[in-house]
Structure 1
Amino acid sequence: MHPRTGLPHAALAELYGTARSTISRAIGEAEGIRLRIDGAETQVRRPKAGQPGRRAFVSGKRKQNTIKTTTVSDGQDRLLWSGANRPGRMHDQTAARTEGIAEQFRLHPVVKAEVDEGYRGLANAFPDQVSAPPKKPKDDAPPGEHYAWQEMRRRQSSARICVEHTNPELRQ
């Protein structure tokens, strides 16, 4: 709430019914956290026939009617934010840009995040802030490149696993 609104600590304390020092401590703890961003798809009932936008809910990945929710967690499996609910057909990166997440990286250059391949464009736009898995080498690349790619992917996946753990909590 503090980075998004810019409200002073005292105003946030009043808003949440707590002491200003508690807000200041929480904001201090949040600085330096490397965020994990991911999109979670939840199956939904198919909209009624004849309704506008009926096809928008069909996910290309799951071939089902879904709603996609963007989730943000920290490195300790704690869900920090869940929102940007969009029809399943919308790409993860489009939902992040539409919801203003990309703008937050522009406004707060110290914020860092780990993302999956669905956010590669976000990682290209903010290379010092957003880390995405490396691109797969071509089939004719030397075996050493394939091994290095697998190792880099494994490391990046290990860093992102906590957001994958928060997604089932969201569905429950």
Structure 2
Amino acid sequence: MGAGAKHRLVFVDRLLTTLVHLRHATTHDVLACWSGVDRSTITRAIAEVRPLLAERGCTVSPGVRLRTLAEVVDHLGAGGKTGIIDGTEIRVRRPAAGRKDRDRFISGKNKQNAVKAMVVTDGDGRVLFCSPAKPGSCADITHARRLGLVELLADGPAVEILADAGHQGLGAQTGGRVITPPHRKFKKNAPDWYEEAYERQRKAHSSRRIRVEHGIAHLKNWRALARHLGRREHMSDTVQAVAGLLSHQQTADLASARQM
């Protein structure tokens, strides 16, 4: 305890530096000039504070935070609320040539180097959970399975989860608790009555699920998630730190609106 080089920035300054870096993607060189310290000091400060922010979890009420997917499922079940899940991709730098896992970061959807995270919101679009980042080649349904969503819904409380077509198949594995858009029965020469019914059901589902897109848009307003130019190893801490900060802001805004 107490060993190592002493900090040239107090904790409040290190915290503010990390917040500016996450919110505006300000480079370490610029932050070092503002603070009057060396670039390595800023790098060390962000590396220490960012994991602390990621461990806080998402705030749902004053003093109550959700840190795991299991806690999110229990929270939704206890309140009888509907959850919405979706995957989001964040562009990252291309891995160096010769790396054996270079192709894992290529997204088959957007044809770009990216990492992927699963976001869970409630019916109002409030962020409840953001998973650690996975390489962009990982499918949404595979990511959800690896996080244990199927087991949590099959053995946990009765919770309704809305998802997009990329999660089709989870409904059968969770007893119908994951609701996805309807399957298209006719690929060619569909009757007019079927087209009308299909579009009506698809739009109804999309209008309920659109809240998670709004939540993801608020996450992407933080420039660190618009396009990440740093190390890919830090993406999990970065995305979870931003999700925790955003959820805290959403909870504070909701409390202020109720008091007015």
Give the TM interval when normalised to the shorter protein.
0.7 to 0.9
**Aligned-pair distance for 1:135?**
1.6
1:140 aligns with 2:189: yes
- Cα distance 1:41–1:155, how it changes in 2: closer, same or farther (>3 A)? same
Q: Which has the higher helix share?
A: 2
Which residue number corresponds to residue 34 of structure 1? 82
Matches within 5 A, 1:105-120: 105-120=153-168
Unpaired runs of at least 5, structure 1: 1-16, 20-26
Rounded to whole Å, the distance in 2 between the matches of 1:125 and 1:29 is 18
- In structure 1, the partner of 2:244 is none
Matched, 1:161 2:221: no
What letter corresponds to residue 86 of structure 2 in structure 1? D
Report the Cα distance in structure 2 between the residues aligned to 1:61 and 1:91, rounded to whole angstroms: 9
Distance in 2 (alpha carbons) for counterparts of 1:88 and 1:46: 11
> How many Å separate the matches in 2 of 1:67 and 1:103?
24
- State the shift of 1:169 in Å: 1.9
Distance in 1 between the 2:77 and 2:153 partners? 19
Deviations for 1:34-55, whole angstroms, at most 9, x for unmatched residues?
1000000111111111122110
CA deviation after TM superposition for structure 1 residue 126, in Å: 2.3
Map of 1:13 onto structure 2 = none
CA contact (8 A) 2:77 2:158 kept: no
The letter of the residue matching 1:132 is T
The residue type paired with residue 124 of structure 1 is A
The structure with the largest strand share of the pair is 1
Give the equivalent residue in structure 1 for 2:199: 150
| Deviation for aligned residue 1:30 | 4.9
- 1:107–1:29 distance in 2 versus 1, CA, 3 Å: closer
Q: What's the offset of the Cα at 1:131?
A: 0.6
Q: How does 1:1-172 map to 2 (within 5 A)?
A: 18=63, 27=75, 30-136=78-184, 137-171=186-220, 172=222
Does structure 2 retain, via aligned residues, the 8 Å contact 1:84–1:96? Answer: no
Identical columns (%): 38
TM-score (norm 2): 0.54
Structure 1 Cα separation of the partners of residues 172 and 137 of structure 2: 22
| CA displacement, residues 43-68 of structure 1 (integer Å, 9 cap, x when unaligned) | 11111111221101101110000111
Q: Which runs of 4+ in 1 moved over 3 A?
A: 27-30
What is the CA–CA distance in structure 1 between the aligned matches of 2:205 and 2:139, rounded to whole Å? 21
Superposition RMSD on alpha carbons, in Å? 2.2
The amino acid of 1:133's aligned partner reads P
Alignment-mate amino acid for residue 45 of structure 1:
R
What residue ranges of structure 2 are gaps of 5+ in the alignment?
1-61, 65-74, 223-260
One-letter amino acid of the structure 2 residue matched with residue 66 of structure 1: A
Output the CA distance in 2 between the equivalents of 1:44 and 1:154: 33
Q: Could you say which structure has the larger radius of gyration?
A: 2
